[in-house]
Structure 1
Amino acid sequence: MDNDQLLALLSATAKGDKNAFASLYKSTSAKLFAISLKMLGNRAQAEEVLQDAFVKIWHNASDYQVSKGAVMSWMISIVRYRCLDLLRHHKVRKEQSLTDEQEQEDLTSIQVAYEDDSKLVDCIEQLDPQQRQVIHLAYYKGLTHHELVDHIASPLGTVKSWIRRGLQQLQRCLTL
């Protein structure tokens, strides 16, 4: 489903349309669940986060601003922050170094989450290994900048630069 269709459903949801909300859920829940499951590594917690996220989406649909990005990106950020809240609350972190094999497995799981968006996967694969690793750890494992510094034993400025440059490269790649 493209952004315009999702925007129409979200706009109707903001007006209290339960059928539109059900369609929005049906269209996006699999991807959002895959993201939460990847971040949490626990099915029950991922389901809890997904439910909380959709409650927040229902209540805050009118707060969405087109100028701030795509509908799916907005929804992903809600799921991501819910995951981070849960991780911090339960102190459930899986901080481990990514080996090449693990990195490939992670790319495969991203492909599952974005199976109809192969361009994103292609763009992620084009990143430098350090950029790919820190973006993965930050966005899919929920590590903060300071946790990344400790985890990969690199200076804070370097970590922030890898993230910034990696996200800029992803943005350029996705807009081509």
Structure 2
Amino acid sequence: MERSFAEGGERALEGAFALHGGLVYTFCRRAVGESLAEDITQEVFIRAYRNRAQFKPERGTLAGWLIGIAKNRIVDHFRSEQRHASRRGGHEHAESAVESQIEQTGERLIIAEALLRLPERARSVIKLRYFDDLTHHQIADRLSMPIGTVKSDLRRGLAQIRRQLESAHE
């Protein structure tokens, strides 16, 4: 799917939207509310399609790349709103705080999406390690797995999540 998106075609856009439209919309809705979320989501996919040659599957996932585009579009929206507010004599919000909040929301969604895409065993290991704060030995005991397998699953799963986060920051 990701390679076909980079190569183009209307079906590629439809497929990307079918796979990742919900993720992008959720991110936009959390950042700007329902009234603007649909418009920004559409803009994200239009921009992504127009700039599809810039997407490099070997550098990260399509989901991460789309969230990166969405973050930029949302930040642009808030900057525009701040310019309009300052012209009207309104109070300016701290731009860096808004951008930081958008960044954190985007990263949480990318991590959640990446976790869903992991094999069940790796997802379980990561959840036990980072959500339940268990040690490698405790995870191995709980899942009846060798400690080396726990460490390998953890390392590979985190690498996959890292690739998605990196693709969102490009």
Report the TM-score, using the length of structure 1 for normalisation: 0.50
Uncovered stretches (5+) of structure 2, i.e. residues with no partner: 83-91, 99-104, 134-154, 161-170
Q: How many residues are aligned here?
A: 113
RMSD over aligned Cα, in angstroms? 3.9
Contact 1:53/1:79 (<8 A) preserved: yes
Shift of 1:67: 4.2
> Residue in 2 aligned with 1:25?
17
Please show how residues 86-165 of structure 1 align to structure 2 within 5 Å: 86-91=77-82, 110=109, 114=113, 116-117=116-117, 119=123, 122=127, 125=131
Q: Which has the higher helix share?
A: 2
Offset at 1:77? 0.2
Give the whole-Å Cα distance in 2 for the aligned partners of 1:53 and 1:24.
Answer: 11
Question: 1:29–1:50: 8 Å Cα contact kept in structure 2?
Answer: yes
Larger radius of gyration: 2
CA contact (8 A) 2:23 2:109 kept: no
Structure 1 residue runs without a partner (length 5+): 97-105, 128-170
How far off its partner does 1:11 sit?
2.5
Distance verdict in 2 for CA 1:90–1:38, change over 3 Å: same
Q: Which residue of 2 aligns with 1:56?
A: 47
Which protein has greater RCO, CA pairs closer than 8 Å, 6+ apart?
A: 2
TM-score by length of 2: 0.51
Aligned residue identity for 1:116: L
Change (3 A) 1:8 1:67: closer
Give, in angstroms, the shift of residue 124 of structure 1. Answer: 7.0
The C-alpha deviation readout for 1:8-51, integer Å capped at 9, x for no partner, is: 331232xxx112211111111001111111122x1121112111
